[in-house]
A and B are shown apart, each in its own frame.
Chain A
Amino acid sequence: MSGPFGWVGRILRIDLTSERIWSEDTGRYSRDYIGGVGIAARILWNEVPPGVRPFDPENKLIFMTGPLTGTAAPSSSRVIIGSKSPSLHPIEHSTRSSVGGDWGPELKYAGYDGLVIEGRAERPVYVSILDGEAEIRSASGLWGLGAFAAQREIARQLGRDVETLCIGPAGENLSRIATIQTQTGRASGHSGFGGVMGSKNLKAIAVWGTGGVGVADPEGFLEACEYARSIMVPHPMGGGAGGLGWTRALPDGRLLRFFSKHRRRYFSCHSCPAACDGFCSVPGVGSGSEKCDGWFYRDYAYDYYGDGSEEGDGAFFYATLAANDLGVDCFELVSMIPWLARMRDRGLIDDGGIGLPLGRIGSREFAEALLRAIALKEGPGRILSEGGARAAEALGVGARELYEALWFAYGQNQHDDVRSYPIVALLWAFDSRDPMIDTHAIRHLVVTRLLWPEPFGLKERERDAICERIFGSADVADHSTYRGKARAAVICQHYSRAFSTLVLCDWTVPIFSSPSARDHMGDPTVMNRLLSAATGLEYGLGDLLLIGERIYNLERAQLVREGRRRGSDALYEYWFSNPDPSGKVIPREEFERAKDEFYAIRGWDPETGIPRPEKLRELGLGDVADEMEKYLRDPGRAPA
């Protein structure tokens, strides 16, 4: 094969308002940003100015793969999605999300590295991309269908085994906590991009292709794949290749028991050795995927019906399938349900007032009432479909106070504990959204792996050696202090942007630690080795991390232009004054000092949190620096 290698070369563009379809060279962006999250950030900066709101036709929905997508690189299934987010609060910032499965690879086989959708169709439509040919088709018979039925109907209409991204009723009805779904349990969830698709009257995007993704050095590439796989597996959450399949890796006998009764097989995303998706069937409920999706209802269901009960299994799995079919973000519900329960306990709401059977949380009926209300925006769903932050505003002071105890910042609910782990607090403070979505690895390195059994676990000595190698110091693992955390946060951010350009899954990369290697020492250079062999261009790990830094700064410039400043690099007040079980709160002064250190390392102005022009120029973002200077002189002006 004579190339192109890695990338397939074109980005497809569709304007749903004018029905214009065209394409552009990926090469315009790939040298500086590679792919994935990098190209998405650049297109957002170029084309989505401040002032555009998530549901405006001018907002763009950007789907970007990377040069490893669709190859045999392990865990290379994901597609990055970039857009203005309706779930973020109070500013509807530009942000990122991603989804696995097989859609990203299929987009490349259909001939495109990425897809950018803009405008708004007059009537409900879906887009098909079949071997390079894109078409806008009527979705009149699809509107209102759940995500599962919509995917099957589209495959029937097109007469092919297409891969489809679609929205459920929640996205159609412009819920701010609506997902983009594929298959039975894979979602771009927490950025609320399902509502953005709905606002464009776009039900689905179906892709299919016979094109191939070539690599420059097939032999070297397959060797790099084999090496990467050998140090990735077994994956503790995976069912494939000796993993624990979400069972013994979690101290949760309830999930273990559910899986032992109902799991029929593991499913992998494209080319993934981890296979973290358990395909389950429960009589009287249905079939589909279960991973962490059902977390939001598991304990409620078993507390209500009894451990190990069939009714408990049914309610738990029903909630998982219904959320995925209706296209409601499961993760938001992890906080929303306890929040509703606490409001009821405080007398702030009651069954009659809110229109939900709050005394029966854990029952199948409650899950159905809540999910349908949110997806259809009926009754209590008119408020709750706005997400926790906006629902709390609507419900008043007491509701807001209880909200802050379950969400961390920006309208994003708790993921991990910002009081217990300073590195987690800092990652949260500087992001636009829940950052744990692409920084799981640091959490596992400094917290979780110390609790896991062999071969997944780490001894403290091993952990410290890994931290020394990756972060230059073992300080990052000392949770009693903010010392060393600012630098570690910077490094984590660069890693996450680097692998999200390729695109690899954050469950398995950047391989800080390895279950199979001596002393469990991982090897992040697999990322640049795979990239070099795939594209024929030489990348070192440093090159990749520098691109990560460029992307991070470009994202920040976009946030700044949208109103982000140092003052909003913060978490809700609750977490500074209410201790975790061990008595820790976020120490305010230490936290602010760590922020000073962070801005200094970043080359940003510590007063404002704005990247300095010279830093942007140093990173090859001269045009961004020029635009920022103009914006700062006159924030009201329209961008060039």
Chain B
Amino acid sequence: MAHTGAFNPKRGLLAIHKDVFSGHVSITICRHCRPPPCYEACGVEGAMAMGPNGAVAINPSKCTGCGACADACPYGAILRDGAGGAFAKCDLCSREALCAKWCPQGAIRAMGI
């Protein structure tokens, strides 16, 4: 929602895979690595910026869609889902961590931000 302006969990940057037949649930989420391999892999000036809290954000107007960041991510947490073929990743919603705020089950907590 915060990232696309509309609801569709499939496009969320916190991806939940629910296998209703095996009962298995897995979650793909940015771990905000330090140092961040995505940030180090990006060769486009201004396409990625690191915020004061260490969260890396993608600037969709500068991102060329080359995918180097997604290739470098060990968790598969960077998606090609930004405007105009840009990539997108969790940027902690400008420190608000809205996923944790809205999780109805209280299953997400924002720690150490």
Contacts and interface: CB of A to CB of B under 8 A. Distances in A.
Interface stretch (B5-13, B36-44, B53-61): B5-13
B58 to A, nearest CB: 18
Interface stretch (A68-76, A165-173, A607-615): A68-76
A72 B10 contact: no
A214 to B, nearest CB: 4
Given A226-B102, A275-B105, A264 B4 contact: no
Contact of B21 (A71, A152, A268): A152
B106 A241 contact: yes
Contacts of B104: 74, 229, 233, 240-241, 268, 271-273
Nearest to A73: B7
Given A222-B102, A241-B104, A273-B105, A213 B7 contact: yes
A273 B103 CA distance: 9
B20 interface: yes
Interface residues of A, number: 41
Contacts, number: 75
A265 B25 contact: yes
B108 interface: no
Contact of B11 (A212, A222, A265, A271): A212
A70 B4 CA distance: 14
Interface string A257-285: 00000001101101111010001010000
Contact of B102 (A72, A183, A272): A72
Given A211-B8, A212-B4, A218-B5, A264 B105 contact: no
A115 interface: no
Given A72-B1, A275-B105, A287 B21 contact: yes
Contact of A214 (B5, B21, B105): B5
B26 interface: no
A215 interface: yes
A225 interface: yes
A274 B10 CA distance: 21
Interface in B67-83: none
A240 B107 CA distance: 10
A57 to B, nearest CB: 32
A71 B23 contact: no
A70 B9 CA distance: 9
**B interface secondary structure, majority:** loop
Nearest to A264: B23
Contacts of A233: 104
Interface string A106-124: 0001000000000000000
Contact of A218 (B1, B8, B18, B106): B1
B6 A1 contact: yes
B102 to A, nearest CB: 7
B42 to A, nearest CB: 25
A247 B23 CA distance: 20
Contacts of A222: 1, 102
Listed residue (B7, B9, B102) with the most chain A CB atoms within 10 angstroms of its CB: B7
B105 to A, nearest CB: 5
A233 B104 CA distance: 9
A213 B6 contact: yes
A184 interface: yes
Contacts of A212: 4-8, 11
Contacts of B20: 183-184, 267, 279, 289
A210 interface: yes
A512 B5 CA distance: 32
A265 B105 CA distance: 13
Contacts of A126: none
- Interface-central residue, B5, B104, B106, by most chain A CB under 10 Å: B104
A598 interface: no
Contact of B8 (A109, A267, A268): A109
Given A72-B1, A222-B102, A267-B18, A287 B23 contact: yes
Contacts of A272: 104
A206 to B, nearest CB: 14
Nearest to B81: A210
Contact of B5 (A1, A74, A183): A1
B47 to A, nearest CB: 23
A148 interface: yes
Q: Which of A272, A279, A289 has the most CB of B within 10 A?
A: A279
Contacts of B10: 109, 209-210
A281 B23 contact: yes
Nearest to B20: A183
A289 B104 CA distance: 21
B21 A148 contact: yes
Interface string B17-50: 1101111010000000000000000000000000
Contacts of A264: 23
Interface string A317-345: 00000000000000000000000000000
Contact of A71 (B7, B18, B105): B7
A241 B6 CA distance: 25
Contacts of A225: 102
Interface string A274-312: 010001010000011100000000000000000000000
B108 to A, nearest CB: 13
Interface in A24-80: 70-72, 74
A279 B23 contact: yes
A70 B23 contact: no
B62 to A, nearest CB: 23
B13 to A, nearest CB: 14
Contacts of B17: 161
Given A72-B1, A267-B20, A273-B105, 18 more contacts: A1-B6, A70-B8, A151-B21, A152-B21, A161-B17, A211-B6, A212-B11, A214-B6, A215-B6, A215-B7, A222-B1, A241-B104, A241-B105, A268-B105, A271-B104, A287-B21, A287-B22, A287-B23
28 contacts: A1-B6, A72-B1, A109-B8, A151-B21, A184-B20, A209-B8, A209-B10, A210-B10, A211-B6, A211-B8, A212-B5, A212-B6, A212-B7, A212-B8, A214-B5, A215-B6, A215-B7, A226-B102, A229-B104, A241-B105, A265-B23, A267-B18, A270-B9, A273-B105, A279-B23, A287-B21, A287-B23, A288-B21
